[in-house]
Structure 1
Amino acid sequence: MIKEIIIVEGKQDIQAVKRAVEAECIATGGFAMSPYTMQKIEQAYAKRGIIILTDPDSAGERIRSFLSRRFPEAKHAFVALSEATANGDIGIEQASCEAIREALRKTRYLEWQPQEEFSGQDMLRSGLSGHPNAAARRAILGKKLGIGYANAKSFLYRLNHYGVTRADFTQAIEEMDNDSADNS
């Protein structure tokens, strides 16, 4: 059983998480969380800790951002967009059990003292921005690093704020490039 309470957006997300792992979950019900829901999340945060696992879309990111400000020591898990999309719908409820377990294995903290380890130059040199396949490369790398997909600016923020080391980054880039060379 996972110690922390997993925060998701809806009831179908709870069902998907419970199929994948043994855990307690709280559904936000979307961005307009009721005072009762916020109270439940606050209690979970204080007693057991929380893992924020929102949908990999703009609404999910807004909820994650709101909860991150309110609960700065929360953990974060990200399911890749490609693994959370089915039948024209995006959401944790669309993810496979393995994708959810993988996201939870790669749980990260939002760091209090973010490192400015990475710059826009790193993004350019690695083909993560300013490159025809930059979005696809960010999606692959985000999955490898456990920080999810994001646009270039948000991806750079995640690199610097979710504890990604230079060694992790370099290894993931090498793996990604080797994988694409093998598939060519």
Structure 2
Amino acid sequence: MIKQVIVVEGKSDIARVGMAVDADMIATGGFALTKKTVEKIRYAYEKRGIIILTDPDGPGERIRQRLSRLFPKALHAFVPKSEASTADDVGIEDASPEAIRKALSTLRILYQEDSGLFSSSDLFAAGLSGEADSSEKRARVGAALGIGYGNAKQFVKRLNHYGITREEWDRALQMCREDG
């Protein structure tokens, strides 16, 4: 059983995550968090800690950002969009139990201070910006690092705010090169 409470967007997400792991969960009900839901999350945050696991899409990212402001020491798990998509939908409810377990095995905390370790030149040198397939490469490296996808600017911010080390960066790049 996972000690922390997993915060997801909806009831379908709860059902899917429940197929993958034994954990308590709270659904946000979307971006319009009610006061009652925020209080439930706050109680879990203070007593057991929370893991934010939102959909890998725009609305999911906005919910993650809002929850991060409210609960700055929350842990974050990311399921890559490629592993949480069907032909007409993107969401945790579309992820396989294996993809969810993998995301929950690579938890990150969002640091309020920028480490300054990475810059856009690091992305350019690694082919993660400025090339036709850079977006695809960022998605693979983001999945390997457990920080999700972002455009080049967002990706640098995630590298610097999720505590990624140079060693982790090098390993993720090497792994993605080996995978094609």
* TM norm. shorter chain > 0.5: yes
Once residues 174 and 101 of structure 2 are traced to their aligned partners in structure 1, the CA distance between those partners, rounded to angstroms, is 24
Partner of 2:174: 174
Aligned pairs (5 A) from 1:35-50: 35-50=35-50
Aligned pairs (5 A) from 1:1-184: 1-180=1-180
Once residues 154 and 29 of structure 1 are traced to their aligned partners in structure 2, the CA distance between those partners, rounded to angstroms, is 25
Any idea what the Cα deviations from partners look like across 1:77-125, whole Å, max 9, x if unmatched?
A: 0000000001310000000000000000001011243311000100100
Once residues 89 and 148 of structure 1 are traced to their aligned partners in structure 2, the CA distance between those partners, rounded to angstroms, is 17
SS in 2 for 1:19: helix
Once residues 178 and 19 of structure 1 are traced to their aligned partners in structure 2, the CA distance between those partners, rounded to angstroms, is 31
Once residues 141 and 170 of structure 1 are traced to their aligned partners in structure 2, the CA distance between those partners, rounded to angstroms, is 10
Give the unaligned 5+ runs of structure 1: none
Once residues 112 and 61 of structure 1 are traced to their aligned partners in structure 2, the CA distance between those partners, rounded to angstroms, is 17
Instruction: Give the Å deviation of 1:144.
Output: 0.5
SS in 2 for 1:114: coil
SS in 1 for 2:176: helix
Instruction: Give the Å deviation of 1:177.
Output: 1.2
Instruction: Give the Å deviation of 1:159.
Output: 0.5
Once residues 144 and 127 of structure 1 are traced to their aligned partners in structure 2, the CA distance between those partners, rounded to angstroms, is 16
SS in 1 for 2:13: helix
Any idea what the Cα deviations from partners look like across 1:118-150, whole Å, max 9, x if unmatched?
A: 001001001111111010001100111011111
Any idea what the Cα deviations from partners look like across 1:45-81, whole Å, max 9, x if unmatched?
A: 0100000000000000000000001100000000000
The sequence identity of aligned pairs, in percent, is 54
SS in 1 for 2:179: helix
Any idea what the Cα deviations from partners look like across 1:12-36, whole Å, max 9, x if unmatched?
A: 0000111000000000000001111
* Code of the aligned partner of 2:107: T
Once residues 75 and 47 of structure 1 are traced to their aligned partners in structure 2, the CA distance between those partners, rounded to angstroms, is 14
* Code of the aligned partner of 1:72: P
Equivalent pairs, count = 180
With normalisation by structure 1, the TM-score equals 0.96
Give the unaligned 5+ runs of structure 2: none
Instruction: Give the Å deviation of 1:179.
Output: 1.9
